Amino acid sequence: MEDEFYRIKRLPPYVIAEVNAMRHAARQAGKDIIDLGMGNPDLPPPAHVIDKLCEVARKDDAHGYSASSGIPGIRKAQANYYGRRFNVDLDPETEVVMTMGSKEGLGSLATAITAPGDVVLAPNPSYPIHTFGFIIAGATIRSVPTTPDERYWQSLDRAMAFTVPRPSILIVNYPSNPTAETVDLAFYERLVAWAKENKVWILSDLAYSELYFDGNPTRSILEVPGAKDVAVEFTSMSKTFSMAGWRVGFAVGNPKLIAALKRVKSYLDYGAFTPIQAAACAALNGPQDIVEKNRNLYQKRRDVMVEAFGRAGWDIPSPKASMFAWAPLPPALKEMGSLEFSKQLLTEAEVAVAPGVGYGEDGEGFVRIAMVENEQRLRQAARNIKRFLAARGVNTPAE
């Protein structure tokens, strides 16, 4: 029986899957659901990237097993990206490994470096792989806040003082999924010093590195001198180049952690399809105008969404980065809870969002809104939401 499997017993029901199933059923019934739930880019990759995929796929010798750590060209391309973007030097041989998206990389590294009973510090709320990748590997999670204020540092210090065994790994994710919070370089400088003092590995998820707004570029933890002594960082091409389904990501940084990840991956997979790796090289090495174009598009969607939803009676904080907004439930409906609110919004307003409780108990009271529909659809969502709120007696601002 399934419920007898050790690791399956450690996994709770996937809350977000409940809303996803309802969305699917509604669409099957012919309803026009505006899907702001899943962070699935609605834009295509650049044409030259698709052209390279097709070109290499036509070669007779491109269809065998590939290298699980990535072909040399892709690792060099990622190292060059870090040099251009963050002024960080990386050795493509020992400090870079390709992963099948950042999610697989985090899960495989958890398998590589975690022993049953190890304590891992993870943000709450957080993207599920940040906790469940380590739970599957047998670790115990101790939650720390996601918001990078003084409470965060106090929580880290309490965890080291009162947890047995002492935590050995800390997960950070900025820009955050789901909260869209960001940090500056001073935060990372303090974090690296803390990790060295406490002998803790840092795993930084920088999947939204290029989706920053208002001219404020995100920073990398590896910009801190000496960070490679304690840290690895994960990035993804999913959002930057609209290549989510291609499953191309990277882990870079500490050679010991990279070697452990390579070792486990060599047993688990043969690497991504070679034409995909060649096309990813073309993306990283080629024209970068698509990156700014996507960034500007998401910023415009953010501005339209915040303004339109606000006029509909739902005030949403404007995110500084990522493709998400982290929205508190309208105060009059807060007692409903994020899961029930998401269900009713889907059923009655035909708008899908992700319930915050699906990202951890501290996500209760919020929903995550993905900016993956065009501006016209976002305005339509706002009109639907306005009717939904009005039907519940929630006052909307005067037109």
pLDDT digit string, tens, across residues 269-319? 878 889 999 999 999 999 888 899 999 999 999 999 999 999 999 999 999
Question: What is the average pLDDT value for the chain, to the nearest integer?
Answer: 91
> Which percentage of the chain shows pLDDT scores above 70?
97
Structure tokens at 387: 């009717």
pLDDT at 1 over 60: no
pLDDT digit string, tens, across residues 93-114? 999 999 988 888 889 999 999 9
pLDDT digit string, tens, across residues 68-84? 788 899 999 999 999 99
Per-position DSSP letters for 235-301, written without gaps between them = EESTTTTT-GGG--EEEEE-HHHHHHHHHHHHHH---S-HHHHHHHHHHHHS--HHHHHHHHHHHHH
Contacts of 179 (CB under 8 A, 6+ apart): 125, 146, 147, 326
Structure tokens at 164: 């047995």
pLDDT digit string, tens, across residues 230-242? 999 999 988 888 8
Query: What pLDDT is recorded for position 79?
Result: 97
Confidence at 125, pLDDT banded by 50, 70, 90: very high
Contacts of 142 (CB under 8 A, 6+ apart): 119, 120, 121, 122, 159, 163, 167
**323 vs 16, more confident:** 323
pLDDT at 398 over 60: no
Confidence at 397, pLDDT banded by 50, 70, 90: low
Query: What pLDDT is recorded for position 329?
Result: 95
What structural domains and CATH numbers belong to the chain? 6-44+289-391 (3.90.1150.10), 47-287 (3.40.640.10)
Amino acid sitting at position 46: P
Query: What pLDDT is recorded for position 209?
Result: 93
Confidence at 3, pLDDT banded by 50, 70, 90: low
Residue among 73, 95, 45 at smallest CA distance from 291: 45
**38 vs 161, more confident:** 161
The residue with tokens 């000496």 is 226
pLDDT digit string, tens, across residues 14-26? 667 777 888 888 8
